Every structure is written in structure tokens, then in C-alpha cells.
């Protein structure tokens, strides 16, 4: 079975074409800067990478270009589009009633649309991708794989906020969580690597990319998670503030005359590493600036690590045990200085860092960055959300 996986962001489309017989990737790529004059398609197949400037005014045009690349006689891997059996779509927010992946029909499209208010940066482009792919590939099944699904069974004590009851019953204000596909992916892989059954493994999984989130996993199931009603809560992120006193919002509205739209934008897009450092939302830039003596950048990095360590401490206490802390995402998989600092922060919980391992386990490698006898192992496990989506898609279609 050949599964085409689509992951649409506001100005980008990531894609991978899988042969599920051996889970090999036949082609993959990224179309970025959709809607600008600098749109560029990075397409890889057969060990070769092709980068070409393209005209992609919207997601529909963009997807057309991607499908052309996949079937191109020179850089493609398929004779024609009929070889694709089904399409898996990453959807960020599935709301309260979606506990698993689902075949896309009118009802599922309505769910994605209805939850756009809760994930304004993600659900609208996800929907644009679904619409474009369904019209380009109308004869095959399309499956929605929801980022919220792995987190949909959190206990009430973890998903409810201490707010008036009718805010929950009437307005569905609760913790939903995000990055579920990534947390699920590394949970399954960690169980395998630690030689534990998935039903028995206890973990703290930490996804550190542009968005950052943490999940407490007990017996293979998510029991707490750091992101909330929206992806704004929890850890410090590239541009999102993570936890703040909610009173900051009304204080700044009154004090600085900021509108709700201003506050929404500032907390989501102008805070986090970018807001504190004034340099960049990118961890590499912040680390470089900090090394060059920029005190704001150094503070941004310190805040970032401190929040992570504090959350791990909290999750450690609510879990029945912790077989490992698992780091993933662009920063978790690659950033030596951040991983070193996290391990240092976890010393009292029993993490014994192994600097040699920290240096070696980068760029897609998997392994522990603590010593073999470290009471608390810290592992780096690259996430593969696309493969998870492909597996889920295959499972739904075969059912």
C-alpha cells in the first residue's frame, strides 16, 4: 500500500510518500513560503534532492506542484497518481470527541472547521490541505490523524481547569493538548528500546521544536500534558509565552490599551524565545547570541530550560515511576547545549549525563545521553510524525 502523508502549515506543505510493505519513504519534501514570490519546493527521491523556485499562490496550487514532482519522469517515483492508495492528513485540533484517526467525510471536515478557533494557526491550513488533496485525488480514501487523539483520554484532574463548571460544559474550555502524534510516536519507540511493553512503560516525553510540549505517560497512556485549550500553555516556545499569570492579559489590556487581537498576537507570535531575547525564535540564534554576550538571549535560554526542568519535576511526582525522560523535536534531537543543561537540571532526580553520548546522538540518531547506570535515563528519540500518520492511515483504511 502506498500512503501519501500531507502536513500543511500556514505557508508550507510537508509531504512523504510511503511504501507500507517495508515502511520505506519513496519521496518526501517541503514546499515553503506558499503565497509569496519566494515559494520554493524541496523534493527528495532516490537519494537525490531537488530545490526549485515555484509559483505557489495557495495550498491548492502548491499541492498540484508536489503531485507533479511525485509523478515527474525525471525526479518522480510514480508513473501516475493512481498508484497512491490513500492520503493521511495531519490535523492539529480534533476537539473533545475525537479519540482516534478517522476517514474524512463531511462530519470530520465540520469537526476540523469547528475547532479552528482553538488552533487558529493550524486547523485552517490543515483544512486547506484536505480540500486541495481531496479535489486532486478524489477517488481514494483520505484519513485525518488528529494531534489531540493520543491526549484525548487524560483524567479530568489533568484536563479540567479550576474555572466555573459551565465554562467546561457549555464552552468546552479544557486542556486538549497538542503534538499528540509525536508523543505517541516516541512513547512506542521508547517502550521498544527499553524492552518494556507499551502498556507498562512510564515516561516523560518532551517535544522541543518551534512549539514545545511535555506529556506524562503512565502505562503507555498520556496522563498529563503541558499544552492546554490552545498550544499557548506550558513550556517556553519559539514565539509563544507558555505559562503566565492570566491576569497579565487584563493588566496589559488596561495598562497599555492593548486589544484582544493585539494580546493574542503578542502572546502567540511575539513572545517566547523571540520576545525575551529580542533576537530570534530560533534556538540556534539565541545560543549564538548568548555566547556572544547578549544577556537577553542568555536569559531566554535559561527561562526555556528552567521551565522544562520544573515541569519534569512536577510530572515525576504524579507518575507511578519514570523509566526515562525522552527528548525529541528539532531542539531535543540536535541541541547539545540545551540537552546538557536539561540533564544538569535533572541531577537531583537521578540523571547522570554522559557528555560523549550527548555529542554523538545528533542529526536523527537515537540513544541515551545519560550513563548506563544513570538512575534516571534521558533518551533522545527522533520523532517521526509522518510515519505515525502513515501507519494510522493504513489502519483506518484497512478497517
d(CA 383, CA 182): 6
- Closer of 202 and 226 to ligand ADP (Cβ): 226
Name the CA radius of gyration of the chain, rounded.
21
CB of 284 to ligand ADP, least distance (A): 4
CB atoms within 10 A of CB 113: 12
For ligand ADP (CB under 6 A), the number of binding residues is 12
Does 330 bind ligand ADP (CB under 6 A)? Our answer is: yes
Contact 39, 55 (CB under 8 A): yes
Pair 101, 142: CB distance under 8 Å: no
Q: How far is the CB of 272 from ligand ADP (least distance, A)?
A: 10
**147 is known as an active-site residue:** yes
Which positions from 331 to 370 touch ligand ADP by CB under 6 A, shown as an x/- string?
x--xx-----------------------------------
Ramachandran angles phi, psi of 295, nearest 5°: -70, -35
CA distances to 48, 162, 302, 369, 394 from 299, in Å = 41, 31, 5, 25, 45
Q: In the complex with ligand ADP, which residue's Cβ is closer, 222 or 237?
A: 237
Among 76, 94, 95, 211, binds ligand ADP (CB under 6 A): 211
> Which C-beta is closer to ligand ADP: that of 282 or that of 296?
282
Which range touches ligand ADP (CB under 6 A), out of 77-85, 312-320, 323-331, 388-396?
323-331
Residue 273 Cβ, how far from ligand ADP at the closest point, in Å?
7
Closest CB to ligand ADP among residues 129, 209:
209
Q: Is 242 in the site for ligand ADP (CB under 6 A)?
A: no
22, 51, 85, 147: the active-site residue: 147
| Closer CB to ligand ADP, 180 or 329, in the complex | 329
Q: Length of the chain, please? A: 399
Q: Which range binds ligand ADP by CB under 6 A, 64-72, 149-157, 208-216, 371-379?
A: 208-216
| Closest CB 320 distance from ligand ADP, rounded Å | 30
Residue pair 7/388 in contact by the 8 Å Cβ criterion: no
In the complex, the smallest distance separating the C-beta of residue 86 from ligand ADP, rounded to whole angstroms, is 24
Nearer to ligand ADP, 76 or 129 (CB): 129
Site string for ligand ADP, 264-303 (x = CB under 6 A): ------------------xxx-------------------
| 329 binding ligand ADP? (CB under 6 A) | yes
- Per the CB < 8 A criterion, the answer to whether 341 and 289 are in contact is no
| Candidate list 62, 94, 95, 209; residue touching ligand ADP; CB under 6 A | 209
Residue 258's CB: how many other CB atoms inside 10 A? 17
Active-site amino acid positions: 147
Binding site for ligand ADP (CB under 6 A): 209-211, 238, 282-284, 329-331, 334-335
Amino acid at each position: 500500500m502506498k500512503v501519501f502523508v500531507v502536513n500543511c502549515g500556514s505557508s508550507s506543505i510537508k509531504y512523504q510518500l510511503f511504501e507500507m510493505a517495508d515502511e520505506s519513504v519513496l519521496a518526501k519534501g517541503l514546499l515553503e513560503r506558499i503565497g509569496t514570490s519566494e515559494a520554493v519546493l524541496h523534493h527528495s527521491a532516490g537519494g537525490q534532492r531537488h530545490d526549485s523556485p515555484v509559483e505557489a499562490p495557495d495550498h491548492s496550487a502548491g499541492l498540484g506542484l508536489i503531485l507533479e514532482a511525485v509523478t515527474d519522469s525525471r525526479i518522480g517515483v510514480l508513473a501516475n497518481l493512481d498508484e497512491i492508495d490513500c492520503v493521511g492528513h495531519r490535523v492539529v485540533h480534533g476537539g473533545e470527541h475525537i479519540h482516534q484517526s478517522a476517514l474524512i467525510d463531511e462530519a470530520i471536515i465540520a469537526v476540523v472547521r469547528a475547532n479552528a478557533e482553538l488552533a487558529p494557526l493550524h486547523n485552517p491550513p490543515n483544512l486547506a490541505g484536505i480540500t486541495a488533496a481531496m479535489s486532486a485525488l478524489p477517488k481514494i480514501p483520505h484519513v485525518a490523524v488528529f494531534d489531540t487523539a493520543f491526549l484525548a483520554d487524560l483524567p479530568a484532574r489533568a484536563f479540567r481547569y479550576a474555572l466555573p463548571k459551565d465554562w467546561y460544559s457549555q464552552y468546552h474550555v479544557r486542556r486538549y493538548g497538542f503534538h499528540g502524534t509525536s508523543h505517541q510516536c516516541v512513547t512506542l519507540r521508547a517502550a521498544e528500546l527499553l524492552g518494556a511493553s507499551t502498556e507498562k512503560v512510564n515516561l516523560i516525553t518532551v517535544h522541543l521544536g518551534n512549539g514545545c510540549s511535555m506529556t506524562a505517560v503512565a502505562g503507555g497512556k498520556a496522563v498529563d500534558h503541558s499544552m492546554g485549550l490552545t498550544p499557548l500553555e506550558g513550556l517556553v516556545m519559539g514565539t509563544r509565552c507558555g505559562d503566565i499569570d492570566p491576569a497579565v492579559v487584563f493588566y496589559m489590556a488596561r495598562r497599555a490599551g492593548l486589544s484582544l487581537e493585539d494580546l493574542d498576537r503578542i502572546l502567540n507570535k511575539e513572545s517566547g524565545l523571540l520576545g525575551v531575547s529580542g533576537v530570534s525564535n530560533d534556538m540556534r540564534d539565541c545560543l549564538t547570541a548568548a555566547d556572544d554576550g547578549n544577556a537577553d538571549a542568555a536569559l531566554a535560554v535559561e527561562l526555556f530550560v528552567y521551565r522544562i526542568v520544573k515541569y519534569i519535576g512536577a510530572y515525576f511526582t504524579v507518575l507511578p515511576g519514570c523509566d526515562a525522560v525522552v527528548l525529541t523535536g528539532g531542539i531535543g534531537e540536535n541541541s547539545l547545549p540545551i540537552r546538557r543543561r536539561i540533564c544538569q537540571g535533572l541531577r537531583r532526580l537521578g540523571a547522570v549525563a554522559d557528555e560523549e553520548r550527548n555529542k554523538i546522538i545528533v542529526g536523527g540518531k537515537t540513544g541515551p545521553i545519560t550513563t548506563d547506570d544513570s538512575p534516571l535515563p534521558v533518551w533522545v528519540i527522533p520523532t517521526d510524525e509522518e510515519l505515525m500518520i502513515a501507519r494510522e492511515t493504513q489502519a483506518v483504511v484497512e478497517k
